[in-house]
Amino acid sequence: MNSRAIRIVLPALVLGLFYWTLYLQPVAHVGGESALAPEEARELVESVEANLESGNWQAALEESQRLQDAYPGSDRYVQHAARAYHGLQRYDDEAEAWELFFRIAPRPIDACPALGLAYAKAGARDRSIEALERCRALDADNADSVFFLGRAYERAGDYDRARELFERGFKLAPEYHDMRIGLARISLARGDAGKALSIAASVVQDAPDHPDARLALALALRVSGDLEAAREHLLEGLGRRPTYAGFHRELGRIAELQGRTSDASGHYRRAEDLASE
């Protein structure tokens, strides 16, 4: 190779070596160690996903943390950690993980509504609402964001804003039955059992297997004084969804009102057992 060719090729080789060193070498650990080898990383990802699927939460968390340390810019492994924290019922940590995901992910809306729900589980109602408001700000017409923010307002007793969102959500997605169920609950909370009964009955007709719809209907019937009809709907719902704690809780309430204290105690115990599973 002549000197002119060397002068042309050598800078290109140096530039190529610099590029390989900067971009193609494994990403460094936070602590300065080299990242996982590609094959090791692939096997670890497969193991994390299998552990998440099987509910082996602690193992999934430890593996996802190794991947996070190796590749701190990857939102995928943060999401894995958040799911593991949820399974471990470490809701404060789950919320922190989803906050990190929200900051670094190309689609932060994928942290929704889990971010707001994690705060709610951790007992931080105001932070839950604020997070769900951020979620909705990303896409005002996302039906899930509309519903979960409305539900958060409802639980906080802000029925006006909750109703506005549920009505908006119903227009956006008429098949999203939870919007109408939310409207039924708000009507009931405001003392309009007749309206609640009408809305809940229409949802049960459209979606007979929806447990929240049947529970809302039973609540409206109880408030209206028709305990037996309420009880029949709850028992039918229990036949369709035996592990739904809300049915047992309301059956316990009705049994109390009817003076069947032993039945009431049994339903309350079963509701507590199901809620803790």
Number of structural domains found in the chain: 1
Whichever domain contains 264, its CATH number is 1.25.40.10
Within a domain: 185: yes
Residue 196 in domain? yes
Burial class (CB in 10 A: 0-12, 13-18, 19+), 35: middle
Flag whether 28 is in a domain: no
What would the pLDDT profile of 133-151 be if each residue is shown by its tens digit? 999 999 999 999 999 999 9
Residue 116 inside a domain? The answer is no
Evaluate whether residue 117 is within a structural domain. no
Q: What is the pLDDT of residues 147-174, one digit of tens each?
A: 999 999 999 999 999 999 999 999 999 9
pLDDT at position 6 over 70: no
DSSP 37: P
Q: Is residue 277 part of a domain?
A: yes
- Give this prediction's pTM: 0.83
**Residue 29's pLDDT is what?**
38
- Residue 274 · residue 268 · CB < 8 Å: no
Residue 42 CA, chain-centre distance (Å), reads 27
- For residue 264, the enclosing domain spans 175-277
Residue 36: predicted pLDDT: 85
